[in-house]
Amino acid sequence: MLEFIEPTGILKKYIKNYYIVEINNSMDFIPSERVFPHGNITLVFHYGPPSKFKEINSSEYIESNLVICGQQSSYYDLSLSGKTGMILIVFKPHGVEPFFNLPINELLNQNLPLIDLIKNEAAVLEDQLFNFKNNKQRISYLENFLLKRMIINKDFERVEQAIKIIESSKGQIKTQVIAEEVCLGIKQFERIFSRHVGLNPKKFTSIVRFQNVIQMKMNDKNANMYQLAFDNGYYDQSHFIYDFKNLTGQTPRDFFLDRK
């Protein structure tokens, strides 16, 4: 079962959606899937057995029950439990910073037990979530938990504007242009953006562009690779291939062949 639930009230400004996954399978773990950068940070609560997580060139391990998954600059492999139940809070790219008082770029490529970040609060949260009988109660509690922690940073609106500019350009925009649009010097903009989003502006725009390529190919299965590269502002075919291999571990051709 897969289910998307919209956040309520003011949290819509910070959270993209809640994503519920339930699996009832005889296998201990289902075959792993590659997870590639999507530009969002996710808070995950496993109310069923947790997943197996494996980064590049690392050994796999079982996740904690309550984890925060920072921004990714590359891919990892994830194998869900055969009898899993999990809630994912998918934050907007700039949506985490108001709830956790730290530079969000410190979470880059981290799959961190929440208890390592906020200790006693996370332990109480996890205990309470396990006690609820259904996901409606869990999500309501999670929303109240976040609302109590929310502190609005003075730079939030400026970063939000920058995200809108990047997304509307589909990642085809220079950092200098974005900085000018939000009335900041480029160094100051890069620092503020990285603190709130968890990635520097250049890397984030490359992920937005990569995701747009995927969306275009899904909408038109016969789209030509060269045309996709050109339409999305890649300098040449080698640049296109390099970006894809860095983000997915595969060439564009192999990536899309695997998803036919």
57 burial class (0-12, 13-18, 19+ CB within 10 angstroms)? exposed
Domain 156-257 grouped into CATH 1.10.10.60? yes
The amino acid that residue 26 corresponds to is: S
Cα–Cα dist 66/239, whole Å: 38
pLDDT at 235: 83
The segment(s) of the chain belonging to CATH 2.60.120.10 are 2-149
The segment(s) of the chain belonging to CATH 1.10.10.60 are 156-257
CATH of domain 2-149: 2.60.120.10
Query: Which residues of the chain fall below pLDDT 50?
Result: none
pLDDT at 19: 96
pLDDT at 201: 97
Q: Helix, strand, or coil here: 253?
A: helix
pLDDT tens, residue by residue, 102-129: 899 999 999 999 999 999 999 999 999 9
Residues 6+ apart with CB under 8 A from 70: 41, 104, 106, 107, 108, 109, 110, 111, 112, 198
pLDDT at 222: 87
pLDDT at 259: 74
Radius of gyration of the chain (CA): 19
Average pLDDT, the chain: 94
pLDDT at 258: 74
Length of the chain: 260
